[in-house]
Structure 1
Amino acid sequence: MDGLERLWTPHRMPYITGERAPGGCPLCLAPDLPEDETLVVARGELVFAVLNLYPYNPGHVMICPYRHVADYTDLTEDETVETAVFTRTAMRVIRAVSRPHGFNLGMNQGAVAGAGIAEHLHQHVVPRWSGDGNFMPVIGQTKVLPQLLAETRVMLAEAWPASGH
């Protein structure tokens, strides 16, 4: 034995190998799944908030238009506004339930820019805490997440305003 401890994360293998969910775009499929099978936190008229299946930190959500569109410049004015409103609401909700010290917000436009699902636009809302970049990702190239996705989804969904924003 080499003396190393191992964290097994087999759910990440499809992401590493580039496999996609059967049946099409996972961001198009997510809003139509039954509540107990989805990571959708909140639904709006034109966009929805969904937990990232491979989060950087607990509470990492993505704001996605329902419409399958790849580029930010292809959003309608109403989709752009609701994306911004949902991003703002996600920050408020995450602050209320998790008290992060800050956030990373962003979109990776295209595969070359790092988009894991380049064909369906999504705005990342990543809560950050002082010291959350410890030795595990730096030395061990492993991210340790202290909360299950299903628990995070319930916590955020219950705190999301009934109006959607």
Structure 2
Amino acid sequence: MNPDEDGPGSVFEQLWTPYRMAYIRGENKPTGDHDCPFCLIPAMSDEDGLVVARGETVFAVLNLYPYNAGHLMVVPYRHVPDYTDLTVAEVAELGAFTQTAMRTVRAVSGAHGFNIGMNQGSVAGAGIADHLHQHAVPRWGGDTNFMPVLGLTRVLPQVLRETRGLLADAWPATGPAA
């Protein structure tokens, strides 16, 4: 067999990530609030929903398709599509939860930095455009390597349930802004 070909006897190792295919194909993409994952997650147990912390108006949840280990989202309970739809209380708690998410991920994993943001609308890249959510993506020096660039694959060193447990245990019990 030609060693440049991908297959048995190849010089290339393979990293299989079959769970990503569901995301790529858009399977189970919500069509309304009746099947919106961000509306369904709060009714699940924290472990099943990958919920790290719950507040009065928002909750922190691990991204099921993370860009990096510890990729959290802060999500309002209300099914609203746009940042301007949030109440003053929701904006305040979303900000406080984002700060706590950053502190908690830093304490657990030593993240060097973060990408914080939200994509407003499908044209802006929102995967679930009808339910606002803010991403908190931890970053480390050198975390952009050949795998995502050449292999279109991210290497995550931990399963999501383990990450959720570590972050939930480290999340301050005194409230989101602690």
Q: Which TM-score band (shorter chain)?
A: over 0.9
* Residue in 2 that maps onto 1:39: 50
After superposition, residues 148-163 of structure 1 pair within 5 angstroms as 148-163=159-174
* Residue in 2 that maps onto 1:10: 18
RMSD over equivalenced CA pairs, Å: 1.4
State the Cα distance separating 1:21 from its structure 2 match: 6.3
For normalisation by structure 2, the TM-score amounts to: 0.88
State the Cα distance separating 1:6 from its structure 2 match: 2.1
Q: Letter of the 1:17 partner, please give it.
A: R
* Residue in 2 that maps onto 1:82: 93
* Equivalent residue in structure 2 for 1:96, among 107, 128, 134: 107
Distance (Å, rounded) in 2 between the aligned partners of 1:52 and 1:139: 23
Question: Runs of 5+ in structure 1 lacking a partner?
Answer: none
State the Cα distance separating 1:103 from its structure 2 match: 0.5
* Equivalent residue in structure 2 for 1:105, among 116, 140, 159: 116
Contact 1:109 1:118 in 2 (8 A): yes
Question: Runs of 5+ in structure 2 lacking a partner?
Answer: none
Distance (Å, rounded) in 2 between the aligned partners of 1:115 and 1:100: 24
Distance (Å, rounded) in 2 between the aligned partners of 1:34 and 1:152: 16
Q: Is 1:143 paired with 2:151? A: no
Number of corresponding residues: 165
3-state SS, counterpart of residue 52 of structure 2: strand
Deviations 1:119-140 (A, max 9, x none): 1100000100000000111111
* Residue in 2 that maps onto 1:65: 76
* Equivalent residue in structure 1 for 2:38, among 15, 27, 31: 27
Distance (Å, rounded) in 2 between the aligned partners of 1:119 and 1:86: 21
3-state SS, counterpart of residue 88 of structure 1: helix
State the Cα distance separating 1:118 from its structure 2 match: 0.7
Range 120-129 or range 4-13, more displaced: 4-13
For normalisation by structure 1, the TM-score amounts to: 0.95
* Residue in 2 that maps onto 1:50: 61
Identity between Structure 1 and Structure 2 (%): 67
Deviations 1:58-81 (A, max 9, x none): 110000000000100110111000
State the Cα distance separating 1:18 from its structure 2 match: 1.2
Cα distance change, pair 13–164 in 1 and its aligned pair in 2 (3 A): farther
Distance (Å, rounded) in 2 between the aligned partners of 1:40 and 1:34: 8
